[in-house]
Amino acid sequence: MKLLKANLLHSMTAIALVTLTATSSITFAGEAEDKGLALSVEAKARDLGWGDSQADMKMLLKNQHGQTSIRLMSIKSMEQKNDGDKSLTVFGSPKDVKGTAFLSFSHPTANDEQWLYLPALKRVKRISSRNKSGSFMGSEFSFEDLTSFEVEKYDYKYIKDDKHNNLDCWVIENYPKDKYSGYKKRVVWLDKKEYRAQKIDFYDRKNTLLKTLTLKDYKQYLNKYWRASTQEMVNHQSGKSTYLNWENYRFKTNLNDKDFNKNALKRAR
């Protein structure tokens, strides 16, 4: 199965690259679905090979009355050959959430696997695939939002060319294949220069705009990989918002599978 996934992604990437290099103006002769898929495959291909990374993050929660609270955490991530990424998030403050840890295994076609360690209860809780649309630690990010982008998880449709923050972008709709997804679709603004997501609109199962994620302050690492230093998720239905500020990125830090298992959840501090 892993070999099949690898061959599929390799073939999709090859098709995208052939299409993209056929013309300097990045025009497509195929249908909107083919164009949306090709652009998404290329975006994924440009972000392969970083290995592993670590970073620090500040999460600011803002309710509909403007009241705020701040949480600090550290993030570890690791690529998997022929599979999705693994990640481990550990809360450092405030005191009431310190030691809480979240482990996520992303998969291209199978159900993602996620666990949450709650130090007050001293137990690991498995996050059900049916509950992936639930809020992550009171934020406007759902558990579903915290998995790595995998091409196979969606169907695609190119919508139009547009500008966002003075950047020329393609606008692509992503339709989740998972029946337990909390979204009917995602609408992604992908910049034409570097293939980075600049904005994502999330529509709920009733096809009503639910949230908007804006990605800002991109920085390049290892002369290749782009990461947004600021992410802003606004919930249009509740009036709440969550801001993520990333810093101190380190890549190729020799992480291994032992850093991403359920025992690592309990060891996290």
* CA dist., res. 145 & res. 136, Å (int): 9
Q: Is residue 90 part of a domain?
A: no
How many residues are present in the chain? 269
Q: Is residue 262 part of a domain?
A: no
pTM: 0.87
Report the pLDDT value the prediction gives residue 11, as an integer from 0 to 100. 46
CATH code for position 26:
2.50.20.10
Q: How many structural domains compose the chain?
A: 1
Question: The domain containing residue 49 runs over which residues?
Answer: 1-85+104-109+127-253
Is-contact 149 186, C-beta < 8 A?
no
Q: Is residue 91 part of a domain?
A: no
Q: Is residue 264 part of a domain?
A: no
Q: Is residue 180 part of a domain?
A: yes
Q: Is residue 78 part of a domain?
A: yes
Nearest to 233 by CA among 248, 220, 245: 245
Q: Is residue 178 part of a domain?
A: yes
Beta bridge pairs of residue 158: 172
Q: Is residue 79 part of a domain?
A: yes
Q: What is the block-wise mean pLDDT of the chain (269 residues), using blocks of 10 residues? A: 43 44 42 95 96 98 95 96 95 93 95 93 90 94 96 96 97 96 98 98 98 98 97 98 98 94 76
Is-contact 105 78, C-beta < 8 A?
no
- Express each pLDDT in 192-207 by its tens digit: 999 999 999 999 999 9
Report the pLDDT value the prediction gives residue 269, as an integer from 0 to 100. 57
* CA dist., res. 38 & res. 18, Å (int): 10
CB atoms within 10 A of CB 238: 13
Centroid of chain to Cα 106: 10
Q: H or E element: which one contains 57?
A: strand 52-62
- Express each pLDDT in 82-130 by its tens digit: 999 999 999 999 999 999 999 999 999 999 999 999 988 888 999 998 8
